[in-house]
Amino acid sequence: MGFMFTSKGSVVPKALVWAFPNAILAFLVGRYSHLAGPLKLDLHMDGVIAIWGSYTFILGFLMVFRNSQAHIRFWEGTTALYQVRQFWLASAGSIISFCNRDPEKQEEVRGFQHLYLRLLSMLFCTSIQRISEVEDDSMEILDPRGIDSQKMKVIQEASADSRPDIILQWLNRMIIDGEKNGVLKVAPPVLSRAYQELTRGHNWFESMKTISDIPFPFPYAQMITCMMLIHWFMTPLLAGSIMESEYWAAAMVFFVVGSLWCLIYIPMQLDCPFGTEDNDLPIKSMQASFNRELITLLNPHAQCAPAFKCPEGSPEMMVSWTSKLPC
C-alpha cells in the first residue's frame, strides 16, 4: 500500500488535476439530467455511445503507440549512457595497463596518467552537459589544476557541441605521443584497442544526442493532445446523461479520465531520461561515480597484479566465498 501511494516520481497527482473537475462535472450533469420540471438538463445523448466507442478506440491506439515509443527512447538513452561510461572507463584501464614500468620513466608516466584521466573526466562531463536538460549543469570533474591554461581557455570558449570533440581529439593525440616517446609500451595492434574504446564511447554519445535533440514527432503529439481535450470535455457529459446514478457517473469518469491522463504523463516523463525529474537518470551522481573509478585506477596497487604463492600441503582448489574479502 505504501508503494501504491508513493508520490515521488508519480504522475498521479498531475492526472488528478484533470480527473477531479471531470468527476464533479459528471455528477452535476447526472443530477440535473434526472430532475423533473424546467431544471431538467436534456443533452439528447441517445446513440452517441456507439460513435464514442470508435473515438476512444482510436485514442487508445494512439496512447499505446505514444507509450511504446517513450519506453523505447528511455531504454535506448539509458543503454547509451551506460555504454559511454563503460567504454571510456575501459579506455582508461587499457591506457593505465599499457604504461611503461621502467623506473626511469615513472615521473613522465605519472604525469601522463593524471592528465589522461583528468581529460577523460572532462570528456564525460561535457558529454553529459551536452545532452542534459537541467538548469544547473555544473558537475564535478577531477582537479584540472596543472593543465595548460590556454588549452583550458579553448574549452571554456568552445560551444557545448564542440567541447567533447576537442577533448576526444586531445586524448587521441596523447595516445599517439605517448607511444612515440615511450610512455606507452605495448605493441601497436594492442594499443589500437584504446582508440576503439574511445571511438565506441563517442558513437554511443552520438546516440544520446539523437534522443536529446529529436523530440517525439509533433503531428502525433498534437493529435493526441486535441483528442484528449475533446475526451476530457465529452466524457462527463455522456456519462452524466446516460448513467442513472450520478454517483456512479462521477466515479467512473474519475477513474477513466484519471487513467488516461496518467498514460499521457508517463511518456512525457520517459521521453528524455537526461533531466532532473524523479524518473530521470541520476546524471550528476553518475559523473561523481565515474570520477571515483578513475581515481581508483591511479592507485599503484590497482595498476599491478598481486603476487601469488601456491600454498603447500593444500591441494584443494574449491573454497567458500563470501561478499567480504579476507583481511
Q: What is the pLDDT of residues 122-176, one digit of tens each?
A: 999 999 988 887 776 788 898 888 888 898 899 889 888 899 999 999 999 999 9
C-beta of residue 249 within 8 angstroms of C-beta of residue 29: yes
Share of the chain above pLDDT 70, in %: 90
Neighbour count for residue 295 (Cβ, 10 Å): 13
**How confident is the model over 264-282, as pLDDT tens digits?**
999 998 888 888 788 888 8
The answer, as to whether pTM is greater than 0.95, is no
C-beta of residue 303 within 8 angstroms of C-beta of residue 97: yes
Beta-carbon contacts of 10 under 8 Å, excluding residues fewer than 6 positions away, are none
262 vs 266: CA distance, rounded Å: 6
pLDDT at 313 over 70: no
pLDDT band at 4 (very low <50, low <70, confident <90, very high): confident
234 vs 211: CA distance, rounded Å: 35
What's the pLDDT at 323?
A: 61
The residue that leads in pLDDT, 108 or 5, is 108
What's the pLDDT at 9?
A: 84
By CB atoms closer than 10 A (0-12, 13-18, 19+), residue 69 is middle
Helices (H) and strands (E) in the chain, counts: 10, 0
SS3 for 234? Answer: helix
pLDDT at 37 over 70: no
Cα maximum dimension of the chain = 104
121 vs 167: CA distance, rounded Å: 10
pLDDT at 227 over 80: yes
Among the listed residues 211, 208, 209, the one whose alpha carbon sits nearest the alpha carbon of residue 69: 211
